[in-house]
Structure 1
Amino acid sequence: MRIGIEAQRLFRLQKHGMERVALELIKNLQVLDKENEYFIFVKPDVDNKVISSTDNFHIVEVEGGAYPIWEQFKLPKLAKAYNCDVLHCTSNTAPLALKIPLVTTLHDIIFKERSVLEQLTSSASWYQKIGNLYRRLIVNSIVKKSERLITVSNFERQNISKIYKLDNNKIQTVYNGVNEYFKAVIDNKTKAKVKQKYNLPEHFLLHLGNTDPRKNTARVLKAFYMYIYEFTEDLKLVLVGLNQAKLSTILKSIDLEKELSDKIILTGYVADKDLPVLFGLSELFLFPSLREGFGIPIIEAMACGTPVITSNTSSMPEVAGDAACLVNPNSTENIYEAIVKVRSDKNYKEQLTEKGFTRYTKFTWENTAKKVLGIYQRFNHNNI
C-alpha cells in the first residue's frame, strides 16, 4: 500500500497535543511496518530533525499558506501526485476535495460544545479561536466523507457517535500512549540542569496552564491560594504554558494578583524532553480540566511517579482509573480538599504513586501504531 499521513505542523518548534500524537504514531509505525510505503506530508519549519526518512517512509515538505489553504488545496494534490491508496489526516480536519479513501483522527469535538459567541469572547488566543471556527465549518462534512474515524477515548467515541448519529463500526477508539523518556528515575545532573533552566523552586505543585478556559487555571490558582493561606507553607505553583500578561489577567479576574504574585513560577513553553523532570520534581500534578478528549499529561505524570489530581468528568476517569485523585473541576473547594488530602496523607500519596506506575503501562505508542496500522490494512485491495 501507499499510505499518506498529514502531519502539517510536525516540524513546528512548540508542539501541542495533536502534533505530539502524530509524531509518536509515525515513529512507531516506522519500527512496526517495513512493507507499506508511507508519505508524510509536512510544512517546512525549524524543528525538522524530529523525524527522518527511512527506506519506506518519505518525509515530503510542502510550502503553503495558512493551515486551511495548505490542507484544502495542497494536500489533495499531494495525495494524488504520490498515488496514495489512503490518506490519514491526524488533526480533526481534512481536505474536502480528496478522491481517495480518508481516515481522520477526530481527537475531540469540544469545539462543537460551545457557541460561536462564547468562543469569540473567551480568553483563548485568536489562533485557538480561528482554529475552532474552522473546525466548526468543516468537520460535519469531514465526518461524512471519512471512511474511518479514529478518536482517543471511549468517552469521545460515544460522544461523537451521538452528535453525528454514526454507526459505531465507522469510528474506533485508539488510545494515546506515553513516551519512554517519561520515567521516575532521572540522573541528578539532568535534574539540576532543568531546574536551573526553568528557575524551579525546592517545593512546588505543577499545573499545565493554558489560555483555553477549559484548562481551569483560575480555579487551580484559587485552590492553591486557599491551601497556602491555610497552611502557610513555603510552597510555589509552577505554571507551564502561560506568559506573564495572561497570568496577570487571570489573577486580576479572581482578585488574587497581590496575594499570589510571588508564589507562582512561569516556565513558558517546556520542551518535551524536559517535561519528565518537571513532573518528577513536583510534589503533585494538578490537572482538573473541565473537558478532555484524552488527557495525555495524566499518564505522563504517573510514569514519572508523580501523584495526580484530575477531574471526574469526560475522558479523565477512563484514562486515570483508580490511580488519581478525582475531583469535581467546577468546585474550587473540592480541588483544595484534594490538595490537602494528597499532601497530608502519606499513605494515600504513596498509593496513588504505586497505582500510577501500573496504570500508565496500559497506554503505549506501540499499541497505538498497531491499531492504526490495522485500520490502514482495511484499504489494502490485496486483502479484499
Structure 2
Amino acid sequence: MKIAIEAQRIFRLNKHGMDFVALETIRELQKRNDGNHYFVIVAPGEDHCLKESANLSIIELKCPSYPLWEQIALPKTVKRLGVDLLHCTSNTAPLRCPVPLVLTLHDIIYLEPRQYRTPSLYQEMGWHYRRLVVPHILKVCKKIITVSQFECNRIRHTLNIPSERITAIYNGYSTHFRQLSDINMDIVQKYIPQKDFLFFLGNTDPKKNAVRTLKAYSLYLKRSSIKRPLLIADLKEGYIDSLLQREGISDIRSHLYYPGYIDNHDLVMLYNAAFAFLYPSLRESFGIPMIEAMACGTPIIIGNTSAMPEVAGAEALMVDPHEPEKIADALLKLETENVLYQKQVNYGLMRAQQFSWENTANELVQLYRSLQL
C-alpha cells in the first residue's frame, strides 16, 4: 500500500504529546519490511528528527496557517501522490479527502463542558477549530483510532459512533526512558540544584490540574520534615505567580523551580533523579508521562479518573485529583513508608513493559491492511 501520514508538527523544536506519538509510531513503521511505502507529510521546522529511507518519503508543505495547511494543501498533496489512504494523527483532518481517511482522535475534551478559557491563545484557537471541524470529519472517516478503551467508549457514546468504526490502539513509550545506575548531575542542575525532588509535568491546560497540585504541595511543605523542592515543567513564571497569588500560597515560591519546556532527552535523567512524579490530572485519554516515569523506576501519583487507572494499572498510587489533601497525603506516604516506596518502584518497572511503539505499529499495520480488503 501507499500510505500518507499527516505529521504536521513533528519538525518543530518544542514537541508535545501528540507530536511524539506520531514521530515514534512512524519511526517504528519505518523499521518494518511490510511492503508499504509511507509518505510522511510535515510542515517545515528546525528539528529534522526523521530521515527518508527506501520505504519512507518526507513531503514538506509550507502554508501560512494550520487550517489552510490541513484543509487545502494537505488534500491537494494527497491527491497528487496517488496514495491508497490518508492517516491524520492529531485529532483533526481535511473535511474533504480524496482517499479513504483514518483519524487518530486522541480525545474529545474540546467537545465537553469546561469551566473557563485556557490562558494560551494558541490553545484557545485550537479548541475552537477542533469543535468546529471534528464532528463533520467523523462522518467521513473510514476508521477512527483512539488511545484507550476509556476514550473509545466515551467517543462512541458521546458522538454515537458505531462500534465497528472506532478502535483503541495503546500508545507506547520511547526505550531511552529506563532506569539508570548513574545520575548525571550536570543535566539535572540545568533545571534544579539537587536530586530527590518532586516532579510535576503540567501546562496551562486546566485538565493538568496545576492549581490543585500547587495547593497540595503547599500542604505537603507544612507537614514534611524533608520539604523536597518541586520541579515544574511547561509552566511559565507569570502563570505560576498568578496561581500562587490567587490561592494565597506565594510563600512556597522559594521551593519551586520552573524552567519551562524541558528537552525530551533530558527528561530521562530528571525522571531518574526525581523522588516522585506528580500526574494528578483531571482528564487523560492515555498519559504517556506516567509510563515514562514508571519505566525510569520513579513512583507516580496520578488521578483516579478517565484513562489513568486503565493505563497505570490497579496497583498504581491513585488519588482524587480534586482534593489537594489527598495528593499531599500520598506524597507523605511515599516519603515516610519505605516499603510502599519500593513496591511502587518495582510495580512501575513491571507495568511499563506492557507498552511499546512496536506493539502500536503492529496494530496500526493490521488496521491499514483491513481497509485494503
TM-score, scaled to structure 1: 0.95
- Separation in structure 1 between the aligned mates of residue 38 and residue 99 of structure 2, nearest angstrom: 15
Q: Does 1:144 align with 2:139?
A: yes
- Separation in structure 2 between the aligned mates of residue 271 and residue 365 of structure 1, nearest angstrom: 20
- Pairwise mapping of residues 329-340 of structure 1 onto structure 2 (< 5 A)? 329-340=321-332
Residue 287 of structure 1 corresponds to which residue in structure 2?
A: 279
- Pairwise mapping of residues 19-30 of structure 1 onto structure 2 (< 5 A)? 19-30=19-30
Change (3 A) 1:137 1:123: closer
Change (3 A) 1:295 1:173: same
Change (3 A) 1:167 1:265: same
Q: Does 1:95 align with 2:100?
A: no
Letter in structure 2 aligned against 1:89: C
Change (3 A) 1:328 1:234: closer
Q: Equivalent of 1:325, from 308, 317, 325?
A: 317
- Pairwise mapping of residues 1-384 of structure 1 onto structure 2 (< 5 A)? 1-48=1-48, 50-115=49-114, 118=115, 121-185=116-180, 187-188=182-183, 191-257=184-250, 259-380=251-372, 384=373
Q: Would you say the 8 A contact 1:124–1:213 is kept in 2?
A: no
Q: Would you say the 8 A contact 1:89–1:105 is kept in 2?
A: yes
Q: Would you say the 8 A contact 1:203–1:234 is kept in 2?
A: no
Q: Would you say the 8 A contact 1:177–1:364 is kept in 2?
A: yes
Offset from partner CA, 1:310-347 (integer Å, 9 cap, x none): 01110000011034210000111111111111111111
- Separation in structure 2 between the aligned mates of residue 335 and residue 221 of structure 1, nearest angstrom: 10
Runs in 1 of length 4+ with deviation above 3 angstroms?
A: none
Give the superposed CA RMSD: 1.2
Letter in structure 2 aligned against 1:132: W
CA drift at 1:32: 1.9
CA drift at 1:186: 5.1
Letter in structure 2 aligned against 1:379: L
- Separation in structure 2 between the aligned mates of residue 9 and residue 295 of structure 1, nearest angstrom: 19
CA drift at 1:81: 0.5
- Separation in structure 2 between the aligned mates of residue 82 and residue 90 of structure 1, nearest angstrom: 18
Count of aligned pairs: 373
- Separation in structure 2 between the aligned mates of residue 25 and residue 203 of structure 1, nearest angstrom: 32
Letter in structure 2 aligned against 1:199: I
Q: Would you say the 8 A contact 1:34–1:56 is kept in 2?
A: no
Structure 2 alignment gaps of length 5 or more: none
Letter in structure 1 aligned against 2:128: L
CA drift at 1:34: 4.3
TM-score, scaled to structure 2: 0.98
Structure 1 alignment gaps of length 5 or more: none
Letter in structure 2 aligned against 1:163: T
CA drift at 1:232: 4.0
- Separation in structure 1 between the aligned mates of residue 291 and residue 322 of structure 2, nearest angstrom: 22
Offset from partner CA, 1:350-376 (integer Å, 9 cap, x none): 111111111011110000001111111
- Separation in structure 2 between the aligned mates of residue 219 and residue 86 of structure 1, nearest angstrom: 44
CA drift at 1:214: 1.0
Percent pairwise identity:
42
